[in-house]
Chains A and B, each alone.
Chain A
Amino acid sequence: MAKYLLLKHYRGAPAAVNDVPMDQWTPEEVSAHVQYMRDFATRLEGSGEFVDGQALSPEGTFVRYDGEGRPPVTDGPFAETKDLIAGWMVIDVETYERALELAGELSAAPGAGGKPIHEWLEVRPFLTEPPTITE
């Protein structure tokens, strides 16, 4: 099994095909989308492939160390041009192809007009522990 991070972006990814802001959908379309996401996570739990899923607030700040005895420097909120992560799902699957298949399904979540959003998701493999047997 190998772990993959499926990253969803508020912005920074290429534009989705069905790219309509959520508050411009109908309330029923919003509900259908929420239900699709819940069902997806439940199904992955059932298949033993779900590890974790979290959503992030769009608000955030960059922070860095500014030297001994000084408070950290902050820069924010994030500039409008910045890549902005909306949330993630961690899956543990047999193959890379399975990770792509699941990301594809997640991207098909319904949006405006009940049609798939076709949103771009980022699939990132986890770095693992070194294997015991190396030769």
Chain B
Amino acid sequence: MDESLLRTLTPTVIGILVRRGADFAAAEDAVQEALVEAVRRWPDDPPRDAKGWLLTVAWRKFLDAARADTSRRRREVLVEAEPVPGPAEVVDDTIQLYFLCAHPSLTPASAVALTLRAVGGLTTRQIAQAYLVPEATMAQRISRAKRTVSGVRLNEPGDVATVLRVLYLVFNEGYSGDVDLAAEAIRLTRQLAARISHEEVAGLLALMLLHHARRPARTGPDGRLVPLAEQDRSRWDTRLIAEGVDVLQAALARDRLGEFQAQAAIAALHADARTAEETDWVQIVEWYDELVRLTDSPVARLNRAVAVGEADGPRAGLAALAGLDPTLPRHTAAAAYLHERDGDPVTAARLYAEAARSAPNLAERDHLTRQAARLNVRLRAGGGQSPPR
């Protein structure tokens, strides 16, 4: 059975149910139940018309639920009436669902969960596994999110930026459990980009493709982090890079720069370098300047300082770092790196060990500990000062 087809149909079918008069929460529940039934029945009995099948079953589930509701409470005209054929799609239902699931009244975690279920067609169990929480907890998070947006009409105009933030969060969560969230985020962003012409949607898609291309090289066989400069670039996915660059160029040609395009441009410059030494750091710094101008983000400033260290030497990098808040995540790690490049392994080793203690995840902690260990081995062997690389 083609599970990806099933998942693609999810937002369309929800949209049709809503047009026929179901409220979003009931429509979403009905489609989720129909999906579960499809997963059970399609392998032995694949339908000729997948969308028609899903729509019929979901509508029946909705009617069953509504009838049960009615017999408990009051009669509803809607349910007794024959299902009216929905009006022709005026607006794209799928886009409206993206907006609804990323509605600004939702917390980021709720928006992510709701998007993965209603737009992505994932089951609650899959989403729970991906975020390492019990299924009951995720089910609650989703039903609370649905209550929060229950008053929002599906045809209200939405803000693309909120949708992009949600998709970015899903992508950044990466990979845990059975569901590849990075791949799912790419699928959802691709689907959005195919329906809406917006330079930042394209920018985010390019950013995801270019980072996803590096994934095979980002971890060693033993699960350890491999930093960009040490990655085996022959393991980068050239097909994804080519697609990412194409998407980015088309976006940039529209001359409406945004933060995702700027980030994608930086990723594209890395992808363009056949070796780490060939990296065009001067251009990368220019893109970081754009990014800082667009976002005023401290994280962008921190990354810019590291890029300045590559373009203009470690002293310049340390000077750029000096003006930043030392409690920023990865500030200490960046300082350690720049001090090592500046020929001061004693300070670098101390800072790497300090950075390891405050690392936000195990992979980074192990990596930073190894960096400290590497320098300490050299220092014990008597190499006080080392020439800059």
Chain A interfacial positions (CB closer than 8 Å to B): 21-27, 29-31, 34-35, 38, 55, 57-59
Name the one of A23, A24, A25, A55 contacting B356, with C-beta atoms under 8 angstroms.
A23
Task: With CB as the reference atom, state the residue of chain B lying closest to A58.
Answer: B357
- Near A by CB (< 8 A), chain B positions 334-389 give 349, 352-353, 356-360, 362, 365-366, 369-374, 376-377
Decide if B85 is an interface residue (CB 8 Å cutoff): no
Chain A residues closer than 8 Å to B224, beta-carbon distance: 31, 34
As a 0/1 sequence over residues 94 to 107 of chain B, the CB contacts with chain A under 8 angstroms (1 = contact) are 00000000000000
Asked if B358 and A23 make an inter-chain contact with CB atoms under 8 angstroms apart, the answer reads no
Given A38-B223, A58-B357; A26-B377 close (CB under 8 Å): yes
User: Nearest A residue to B352 by beta-carbon distance?
Assistant: A23
Once the chains are docked, how many angstroms separate the CA of A38 from the CA of B220? 14
Residues of B close to A24: CB separation below 8 A? 373, 376
Q: Please list 14 pairs of residues, one from A and one from B, whose beta carbons are closer than 8 Å in the complex, sorted by A's number.
A: A22-B356, A22-B373, A23-B356, A23-B369, A23-B373, A27-B371, A29-B373, A30-B366, A34-B222, A34-B366, A55-B365, A57-B359, A58-B357, A59-B357
Which chain A positions have C-beta within 8 A of B223? 34, 38
Contact of A59 among B352, B358, B362, B376 (CB under 8 A): B358
Question: Which residues of the other chain, A, contact B222 by a CB distance below 8 angstroms?
Answer: 31, 34-35, 38
State in angstroms the CA–CA spacing of A25 and B356 once bound together. Answer: 14
- Residue from the list A22, A35, A55, A58 in contact with B369, Cβ < 8 A: A22
Footprint of A on B, CB under 8 Å? 222-224, 349, 352-353, 356-360, 362, 365-366, 369-374, 376-377
Give the distance to chain B from A25, nearest Cβ to Cβ, in Å: 5
Question: What's the nearest-Cβ distance from chain B to residue A15, in Å?
Answer: 19
Contact between chains at B358 and A30 (CB < 8 Å): no
Q: Which chain B residues lie closer than 8 Å to A31 at the CB level? A: 222, 224, 366, 370
What residues of chain B lie closer than 8 Å to A38, measured between beta carbons? 222-223
Checking B357, B359, B362, B373 against A30 with a beta-carbon cut-off of 8 angstroms, the contacting residue is B373
- B356–A57 CB distance below 8 A: no
- B362 & A27 in contact (Cβ 8 Å cutoff): no
Q: How far, in whole Å, are A27 and B230 apart by their CA atoms in the complex?
A: 16
Contact present for B349 and A23 (CB under 8 Å): yes
In the bound complex, do residue A23 and residue B376 qualify as a contact, i.e. CB atoms below 8 Å apart? Answer: yes
Query: Bound state CA distance, A24 and B372, in angstroms?
Result: 8
Q: Whole-angstrom distance from the CB of B280 to the nearest CB of chain A?
A: 30
B357 and A26 within 8 A (CB): no
Q: How far is the CB of B267 from chain A (nearest CB, A)?
A: 28
The answer, among B352, B358, B366, B377, for a CB contact under 8 Å with A57, is B358
